[in-house]
Structure 1
């Protein structure tokens, strides 16, 4: 329990960070188990709203992998992944669109708007926000990556005081729709908007030397250290797209990338507004 002097000191330390981030863009990629647990989701939503009310320009990019898998199983389709990226045929693409745009996106927007007109839902298809290109040479694989971002609509929404909530699908000039890894989309938006931070809110504690031991969490890393961990297969699986994206955005003048556990209550606020690190922070 803090006494009054300690509490004032705590508020003063927080105020310096608030001044640093007010008016700056922070991109939050939201996914994993924290999105499935309704009580945790409510806490994450409250954290995002709190940052927004402090004058921080927050963009939310969401995944929905576990929910997509649930619907695939209902349709007797087996999910398939390669290097942490979902392989997406036409039937899978239809379900991805339905889940991400119609279910996950609108649910998050509704929760953010319970106490005011704060959020607006988009996908990469809206106003050609994201220009995709295929990731595979296989014409039956609808996995894409980001070729270009047109940030005009996002800048307009942020300047007008809204929280854009973005589903990670996009259509090319022929109308073909692609499933894009949400980490990749979050990174591309962070670069295009010159974000202060990119935060991956996931269901892991961060980068650990041993994934079975949370106390091996590496709280601060540089790019050379990350590359060494990747080379030695300490970073693998679904963490690979996150670190590849992190390296890319750090080279594009994003100040820091954070990988934190969204299953920890108020992890987002603790990571942004205090000097205590609850996840991994990556810098140049």
Structure 2
């Protein structure tokens, strides 16, 4: 591990210390070779004083055990009918998983307890069909869970619930994780499954707002193009963020080593995060940001990609500058200088930190500046560049022009700089309210 990696982790520690994470692991992941690595990751979280509640599934184990016993099960994941034979096989499979989980936690010196904290009632009759032994979570015994957490003990919760009379119900682990997170005030739910996350057009989607996640479910539910297990997790992520107010829900591939830590302790992560708060935003620059902005663009200034700007230069036009924040860290910036008399604006100081290239942030900043220009009544935006003019043409739709289009005061600076920058131009128009530019 690099020192810079450790520093990156440490910036999150104050935010997460003594807060609760609900980690939901599918049965398939428990049975995988990578489960041992996940246990080590949980030990890291505990060493940083992060409180962990572990929820596990058992669908794969139920299916396998039923096949071995020659039992025809009515449902494996706790979302459909659970008849008596299925419940019997399910309880045995869950008990087997429990042994694996507890043995694994003990092997990494983590104290844990198997908890019957889920109080469930029958799911009842749905669409005219009795769901039999399938249950729904009625409430969570938060008192016992807090007692365990305060003693440094990890509660392990199975996909099983009990009513006041001791009757047993099969419950869906995705739903259990959601209900536990709500009841315990968790700040994260992490779903570890065999899915990489949400993939659209062959590309992994790193972040989804609630609206985007809802749209994904609406488009793909019942189509057969996306597995029902992933749809379930996205649906529960939406409920967690919108109704329960869990700030962030992460969908991770639990078969990948270090997926858990990479997702929790990095700005970009490696899975899909559904969020309810402002994870990314473009905002104006304040005086306190100027030093950080200068540090951000220093490398590009040194390579003569950007014009050198002093602190006084930025302060003199402070309202023109905007920054892109990702998880409260500045990763990009842009400036828009308006020449109202000429009806034109200059898009300047467009830069994204090298560690965040390839994420589309440059285009977001460009679009934001163009939209801002349109809001100000400007019809054209120009950009001057010595090295990135291809980017403006290919990604932004700019065309090459001549220095003759520059406003007089800007032309003087252009000639004095001797940079011989190419001048790019683009017509702009308002396409949406400016508030929609938050990313």
TM-score per shorter chain, which class?
0.7 to 0.9
SS at match of 2:228: coil
Aligned positions of 1:16-165 closer than 5 A: 16-37=11-32, 39-81=33-75, 85-100=79-94, 102-116=95-109, 118-122=111-115, 126=116, 129-137=117-125, 138-139=129-130, 141-165=132-156
Which of residues 227, 247, 261 is equivalent to 2:253?
A: 261
In structure 2, the residue matched to 1:175 is 166
Contact 1:270 1:278 in 2 (8 A): yes
The count of corresponding residues between Structure 1 and Structure 2 is 268
Contact 1:230 1:236 in 2 (8 A): no
Q: Report how far residue 115 of structure 1 moved.
A: 4.1
Give me the whole-angstrom Cα distance separating, in 1, the residues matched to 2:5 and 2:254.
23
In structure 1, the residue matched to 2:10 is 15
In structure 2, the residue matched to 1:220 is 207
Render the CA deviation track for 1:156-193: whole Å, top value 9, x for unaligned: 10011011111110111233211000000011000011
Contact 1:106 1:121 in 2 (8 A): no
Larger C-alpha radius of gyration, 1 or 2?
2
Q: Which has the higher contact order (CA 8 A, sep 6+)?
A: 1
TM-score by structure 2 length? 0.58
Contact 2:20 2:185 in 1 (8 A): yes
Q: 1:83 to 1:223 in 2, by over 3 A?
A: farther
2:218 matches 1:240: no
Render the CA deviation track for 1:29-81: whole Å, top value 9, x for unaligned: 011532222x3111111111111111110110000111111111122123444
Give me the whole-angstrom Cα distance separating, in 2, the residues matched to 1:244 and 1:267.
21
TM-score by structure 1 length? 0.88
Aligned positions of 1:185-196 closer than 5 A: 185-196=176-187
Gaps of 5+ in 1: none
Once the two structures are overlaid, the 10-residue window that deviates more, 51-60 or 237-246, is 237-246
Give me the whole-angstrom Cα distance separating, in 1, the residues matched to 2:17 and 2:85.
43
In structure 1, the residue matched to 2:270 is 278
Q: Report how far residue 114 of structure 1 moved.
A: 2.0
Q: Report how far residue 82 of structure 1 moved.
A: 9.4
Q: Report how far residue 248 of structure 1 moved.
A: 1.8
**Hey, which bits of structure 1, 4+ residues long, moved more than 6 A?**
none
Give me the whole-angstrom Cα distance separating, in 2, the residues matched to 1:36 and 1:130.
24
Q: 1:201 to 1:83 in 2, by over 3 A?
A: closer
Give me the whole-angstrom Cα distance separating, in 1, the residues matched to 2:152 and 2:77.
37
In structure 1, the residue matched to 2:197 is 206
Contact 2:133 2:168 in 1 (8 A): yes
Give me the whole-angstrom Cα distance separating, in 2, the residues matched to 1:51 and 1:8.
19
Render the CA deviation track for 1:8-46: whole Å, top value 9, x for unaligned: 332212101122111110000011532222x31111111
Give me the whole-angstrom Cα distance separating, in 1, the residues matched to 2:193 and 2:218.
23
